[in-house]
Structure 1
Amino acid sequence: MNKQVFIISGVVSSAKRRGVGGLLAGLAFGLAGCTAGPDFVRPAAPAFSTYDNDQAPAAGSANPSLAVVGAGQTLPAQWWELLQAPALPAVLDQVVAANQTLAAARATLAQAQEGIVQARSTWFPVLSVGASAGRSISGNGGNQYTFRPSSTATNQFSLGPQISYTFDIAGQTARTVEQAKANAEDQHYQLAAAYLTLTSSAVTQAITLATSQKLLATTESLIKNDEKNMELVQKSFQIGTAAQTDVLTAQSQLENDRTQLPALHQQISVARHALAVLVGQAPSQWQTPDFDFDSFKMPQTLPVSLPSELVHQRPDILSAEAILHADSAAIGIAAAQLYPSLTLSLSDSYQSTLINTLFNTVNRSLSAATSGNWTLFQGGSLASQKRAAEDAYDAQLATYRQTVLTAFGQVADALRAIDNDTESLRLAQNAMTISTTSLRLQRASYSAGKSNVLQLITAENAYAQASMNLVRMQGQRLQNCVVLFAALGGGWEGKAGIGLPADKPAL
């Protein structure tokens, strides 16, 4: 049941217009002081200061295998420069400038910001100019026995402005603007998330490319060693100190190592193509720079934000918070529908049956009208909409909390992975040293006839495995460093130019 509160319309004098205007203004200002719904409050930041209950030791620890964590340090915007690879900055600049995913995110952000303008427009009066021209024909009762015309034609012309304004009595417009701002913030953080994903993906592909190239070079070096072993065994066979089976064993080792080459070439091609796509180019149109694996260095200290800082840095957490803010505003929008609405309309028009006398003063018509509407009963729909908005807010609050917990888990995992990688690298270096010495001694022993070919091949296999593992461990630790920096938010808030000039929502 809709109840019309009041309707006033008609031609009024200036004194009456002032009276009506004063009444409406007083009523509007008296009612516009309230804004329905709750005011949004940001979720509290966590009070704890560590990500794991078994944190890595700080600098000067007795265990040198673990990485040094700079707790509370801020990650720089160009965090990839901490890896010290000379070719990385130029590639990342191209990714930010030309990637199409980032371009789409920028356009989506601009679209969301236009939504703020549209929401704010309801704060202003609607001004329009109306014009009409018509002709009507009506009968006058004539018939075949009279000589009067059977109809009369009348023209009607009108022209004039109209203005209307709906008062924001319960703050529905204010909450709608608030929601639009929150949605724009969400898109801003979505842009930041896209930036973080792209930059971390580009660095990951660069490390993958450098690691695969290093593995390829290592495999080619191992093949050369296999060829030396093959040559050594063949000489022994020719002088009768080795059997035909020894030659076949050495040849089998050589061919097995060669079978690794196609897979490594494929890994290099995939990484090159992925980098080209991230840069916004077709693989055939972009020349991949050379990444020297040995130029990549682990930071001496890992800058790690505190948990209380992380919740205000990670784009996915900030996006979830912005959506939560929008859902809070939606409660206010639903609550405002429970209150009455008030609209004031004014018009100043000229009406005449003759076009040439349209603008005569006598044809001028001034009118003012105000109308109110208060929905008192609609089968419980409006109250249900408010409860549904509250339920949506509760659901998003749970999503926000889960996003925060997931972020903390990712940082903890990355820190622990780097610690384990550092220890694995130390062990791999020891294995490399031992296998290098063992292979050198076995070659000398085989040449002197003191050992058989099986012992030589065993030493060769151990050296090959240690060589490949050393490269893989180095690459894996670099990859986990990228994972950590991405989990920390990637320092995007300090990077100008990814979306807005100052990288803050222009609200």
Structure 2
Amino acid sequence: MRHSLFLALTSGLMLAGCSAGPDFVRPASPPTHDYIAPGATLQTSPGGPVAQPGEGPALRWWESFGSPELNALVDRAMTNNQSLAASNATLLQAQARIAAVAGARLPQVDAHARAEREEVNLAGFGFDPAGIGSTGGNPIFNLYSVGGGISYDLDLFGGKKRAVEQAVAKAEAQARETEAAHLVIAGRVVNQVLAIAATRARIETTTALLAEDQRTVDLTDARRRAGKGTMVELLSVQSQLANDRGELPQLDQQLAEARNMLAVLVGVAPSDLGSTDFTLASFTLPASVPVTLPSELVHKRPDILQAEAELHAATAGVGVATARLYPSITLGATIEQGAPNVGHILDSGFRAFDIFGGITAPIFHGGTLKAERRGAQAGMQVAAATYRQTVIEAFGQVADLLHSLNNDARTVDNQREALDVAERSLNLSRKSFQVGNSGILQVLDSNRLYQRATSSLVEARARQLRNVARLYVATAGGWAAQ
């Protein structure tokens, strides 16, 4: 029996430092060399941005739009946004957890001190209190003690080591999530600023259209007074003017909501946001957009790196659960000093100590430990599938945005041409109506086409800028507050 115990202890000591469970292996870079299908082309229209494969966007990618006011708003958001503040604090919490878990691998030392006043129950030990001492009765005395102890878990199968590894991986995942949060907030600020600019452009367009409507009303009324037109024609153009005027309050509401949302992102009250007089002309469309290669995107994009870190944590969790299936050995010692008065509490005659070693082995836990290990293994499979899905979705998102570089540029060109045709048609229709060669309905139809073409061009230009910003976000690395 002693020989078997000795072999068990010796084997355990030899295994000390080993770690149960699988070692984490970083996923290999995908074999994908491009985002789009073979044979697909991304030829952009003249003046449209082109994709330049390489290292990807700069850290402060939003500066490529050439707007100092936009840059200042993003910087304010990085400093004041409360969601980012919470994410930063959560990261500090995860980093503190590493130290807490790592501390369990070191020897645990405790100290204590105690002062007591006791009465001994002699009758409980078979003595007659009345026959003891000069006064009889149970003796009452003081007892002062100080002491301490140290214990150390040998961590034979690396359960605590795996727990530290898991805590580090979780902190890494939180760090990547924090980086992604900064990147997302920067993207949302840019998108909101572009929404403000687009809404202002639509308000300016609608105001100009109202002026054109009023011009048509005046022309129709003049023709009616001259006996060349009818009241029905006048009422038709007045109705068009009233209908177009009804769009302005909704556009004003959209502008207010966009501005208020921007204030929330920046982390201030709307009244403290300051000027937001952005127009689409405030931004420069980059001639080219640097795009990270697929093999590098998986080592740069924060959400992919977060999924990788979570896979690492899940892998370490299998080791933690596996180690619980095996024995653990604890070594330790205690020392105690106790005396009836404080003056003798440190005398050697009142000293006691204890040195111990113990082994604990799980025998029966109702299948709990094995079930926990199976659960950890399943969790690792979940994390692996989530990582692969994150990579696939990232590639799909980048592919969509690369195609948008081409299609958005073509759309802008087409809408410019449509607006030019609609404007000429409106002018000809108005002149034809003025000389009596056509009716007012033709003018109204031409006016509607012109209005639709103008709004479509504004939206196409805004969408082009937004998609370029989205492509920056989709291929940029993490950006955290410095």
Q: Deviations over 1:216-266 (max 9, x none)?
A: 001000100111111111111111111211211211121111111011001
- 2:314 is matched with 327
- Equivalent of residue 310 in structure 1, options 289, 293, 297: 297
Once structures 1 and 2 are overlaid, which stretch shifts more, 63-72 or 425-434?
Answer: 63-72
- Equivalent of residue 34 in structure 2, options 23, 33, 50: 50
- 1:119 is matched with 101
Q: Deviations over 1:18-63 (max 9, x none)?
A: xxxxx99x877522141111110111221112222167646xx596
Report the number of matched residues.
Answer: 472
- The structural deviation recorded for 1:320 is 1.3
- 2:259 is matched with 272
Once structures 1 and 2 are overlaid, which stretch shifts more, 356-365 or 427-436?
Answer: 356-365
Q: Structure 1 pair 142/120, CA: closer, same or farther in 2 (3 Å)?
A: closer
Q: Deviations over 1:332-391 (max 9, x none)?
A: 111111222111112232222343322222222232111111123333332222122111
Distance 1:347 1:176 in 2: 27
Q: Tell me whether 1:481 sits opposite 2:468 in the alignment.
A: yes
- 1:286 is matched with 273
Once structures 1 and 2 are overlaid, which stretch shifts more, 225-234 or 28-37?
Answer: 28-37
- 1:219 is matched with 206
Distance 1:147 1:301 in 2: 104
Report SS of the residue matched to 1:49: coil
- 1:136 is matched with 119
Once structures 1 and 2 are overlaid, which stretch shifts more, 204-213 or 418-427?
Answer: 418-427
Distance 1:466 1:95 in 2: 35
Distance 2:275 2:119 in 1: 77
Residue identity opposite 1:491 in structure 2: G
- 1:176 is matched with 163
Once structures 1 and 2 are overlaid, which stretch shifts more, 28-37 or 396-405?
Answer: 28-37
**Contact 2:48/2:287 (<8 A) preserved:** no
- 2:71 is matched with 89
Report SS of the residue matched to 2:319: helix
Q: Tell me whether 1:446 sits opposite 2:429 in the alignment.
A: no
Distance 2:283 2:377 in 1: 51
**What TM-score results when the alignment is normalised by the length of structure 2?**
0.92
- 1:408 is matched with 395
Residues 457-496 of structure 1: matches in 2 within 5 Å?
Answer: 457-488=444-475, 490-492=476-478, 495=479
Once structures 1 and 2 are overlaid, which stretch shifts more, 277-286 or 355-364?
Answer: 355-364
**Contact 2:147/2:336 (<8 A) preserved:** yes
- 1:378 is matched with 365
Distance 2:129 2:216 in 1: 124
- Equivalent of residue 393 in structure 1, options 360, 380, 383: 380
Q: Deviations over 1:112-139 (max 9, x none)?
A: 0000000110121111212223323223
Q: Structure 1 pair 491/410, CA: closer, same or farther in 2 (3 Å)?
A: same
Q: Structure 1 pair 81/62, CA: closer, same or farther in 2 (3 Å)?
A: closer
**Contact 2:327/2:360 (<8 A) preserved:** yes
Distance 2:415 2:184 in 1: 31
Q: Structure 1 pair 63/200, CA: closer, same or farther in 2 (3 Å)?
A: closer
Distance 2:16 2:448 in 1: 82
Q: Tell me whether 1:344 sits opposite 2:345 in the alignment.
A: no
- The structural deviation recorded for 1:460 is 1.8
Distance 1:27 1:425 in 2: 75
- 2:22 is matched with 38
**Contact 1:275/1:288 (<8 A) preserved:** no
Q: Structure 1: which 5+ residue stretches go unaligned?
A: 8-22, 502-507
Q: Structure 1 pair 292/147, CA: closer, same or farther in 2 (3 Å)?
A: closer
Distance 1:143 1:292 in 2: 102
Once structures 1 and 2 are overlaid, which stretch shifts more, 76-85 or 46-55?
Answer: 46-55
Distance 1:27 1:163 in 2: 24
Report SS of the residue matched to 1:151: coil
Q: Deviations over 1:406-427 (max 9, x none)?
A: 1112112222233222222111
**What TM-score results when the alignment is normalised by the length of structure 1?**
0.87
Residues 154-233 of structure 1: matches in 2 within 5 Å?
Answer: 154-233=141-220
Q: Structure 1 pair 72/416, CA: closer, same or farther in 2 (3 Å)?
A: same
**Contact 2:259/2:276 (<8 A) preserved:** no
- 1:247 is matched with 234
Distance 1:438 1:136 in 2: 111
